[in-house]
Structure 1
Amino acid sequence: MSKNLKRANVDFVVCACNTAHAFQKDIEEGCGEVPFVSMIEVTSNKVLENIEQTGGSKKCGILGGGGCIEAGLFQRSLSARGIEPVTPCKENQDLLQSIIYRIKAGDKGDEVIQDFVTLLKELKEENNCSQIILGCTELPLIIEESMAIYDGVSAENLVDSSEVMVEAVVRIAKGDLEIEQAMDFSSEGHKEKSSTAEILSTAASAELAE
């Protein structure tokens, strides 16, 4: 793959799937000398930036598919930045998986919205999360409708990993952001570089195959 990337004069590579980052080590090896920009790291940096700007609690909820959660992708990245990761309880994680499948099938009706609000309430009200990651590409499709009936969260509380990745790609392409800067982080008391996810989750493989 690396030869094809070089032949195409690719400057950097991104992956538009959160769960696929369970295989980040393999992806990076396939890219060779072409830099890989991780959606997980870029999103975690945005969470840290938001917390430092707003002074909110250092707790971040993670809403993502089962494979992404079980692989611990955001959990490790957030923890490296001194942020406590919070995932839904088992019952609500199963509910979230159902929501994702229903959205994929074209269902964005009232029941789906109400179920999603249940998840937002768990993270915001029961766990006091100041930030919530929308770590699945389907979830932003229902967020406006969800906020319309639940005012417990606002745009400043939500971090859409896809949107953050797009913004980073544009800034890198324009020369406004260095790739190392996009991936690295610097915060008081947390100067170490976060480690690359190395666990290849069976759950992630199953989710990607569906």
Structure 2
Amino acid sequence: NNPKVPSRIKAIIEGNGEDPGPVMADMGRRLEAWGADFLVIPCNTAHFYYDAVQEAVKIPVINMIDLVVNQVKADFARETHIGMLASPAVAITKLYTRRFDTLGMTEVWPDKEHQDRLFNIIRQVKAGGISLDLHRQYAQVCDHLKDQGVGVAIVACTELSALGGNDLPLDTIDASQVLAEAIVRMVKHPSEYPLTGHPGSSRISGNNNR
């Protein structure tokens, strides 16, 4: 963690902040120099700067977005509408959009009212305000996606991951969990760079279990 990384929110959403890419690239070079075997970026939005980091180092940088999309393809190949539970920055950067387009899948985002509510939930969790009421609001956003024909949603925000997913009204794939499992696999099998998601425990089933 580096508190000196410029705000991604200001750079992407507000459009008036310093580019975080060079700072992240420098972090990558330093970690490589200190002996890191590979790098991870445990933030969906920060993957907007993935290329800047990978181009700065010679060691692998695990791409969480690719892992998650491959997980969806492996576990939910028949789904055509994939719900997105993330900050507005993920929508603006289209990090998942291009990859889903190649699979014939379509992202489904909450409408403005529910997306604003979701962003408020993210802010409250970031401030340490996890509560039963936040869980209830989160479930309501998921219900909203389910009403739009969504069968599975990607939890693409670490703050939302902190709320858990076992009691949600639809199936979810947690990007943070997918990444964590990929890290474990890479540590156990360093010769095998994890290019694809691994079907299994990354999938969290909601109340509408298949």
Q: After TM superposition, is the score higher than 0.5? A: yes
Higher helix proportion (structure 1 or 2): 1
Q: Does 1:130 align with 2:151?
A: yes
Counterpart selection for 1:46 from 50, 71, 76: 71
Q: Give 1:75 shift.
A: 1.8
Q: How does 1:37-76 map to 2 (within 5 A)?
A: 37-52=62-77, 56-76=78-98
46 and 30 in structure 1: CA distance in 2 versus 1, 3 angstrom threshold: same
Q: How does 1:149-168 map to 2 (within 5 A)?
A: 152-153=169-170, 157-168=171-182
Q: Give 1:21 shift.
A: 0.7
Runs of 4+ in 1 over 6 A off after TM superposition: none
Counterpart selection for 1:175 from 186, 189, 209: 189
Paired position in structure 2 for 1:190: none
Paired position in structure 1 for 2:51: 25
CA separation in 2, counterparts of 1:102 and 1:3?
A: 33
Counterpart selection for 1:36 from 61, 69, 80: 61
Q: Give 1:114 shift.
A: 2.0
Sequence identity (%)? 28
Q: Give 1:180 shift.
A: 6.0
Paired position in structure 1 for 2:41: 15
Q: Give 1:177 shift.
A: 7.6
Q: Give 1:110 shift.
A: 3.1
Q: Does 1:78 align with 2:108?
A: no
RMSD: 2.2
Q: What is the TM-score with the length of structure 1 in the denominator?
A: 0.73
The letter for the 2-side match of 1:139 is L
Q: Give 1:6 shift.
A: 4.4
Q: Does 1:140 align with 2:161?
A: yes
Q: What is the TM-score with the length of structure 2 in the denominator?
A: 0.73
The secondary structure found in structure 1 opposite 2:173 is strand
Aligned residues: 171
Which consecutive unaligned segments of at least 5 residues does structure 2 have?
1-25, 198-210
CA separation in 2, counterparts of 1:175 and 1:107?
A: 38
Q: Give 1:79 shift.
A: 2.0
The secondary structure found in structure 2 opposite 1:179 is coil
CA separation in 1, counterparts of 2:93 and 2:173?
A: 20
Q: Is the 8 A contact 1:15 1:21 kept in 2?
A: yes
3 and 22 in structure 1: CA distance in 2 versus 1, 3 angstrom threshold: closer
CA separation in 1, counterparts of 2:139 and 2:194?
A: 36
Q: Give 1:77 shift.
A: 2.2
Structure with greater contact order relative to length (CA < 8 Å, sep ≥ 6) = 1
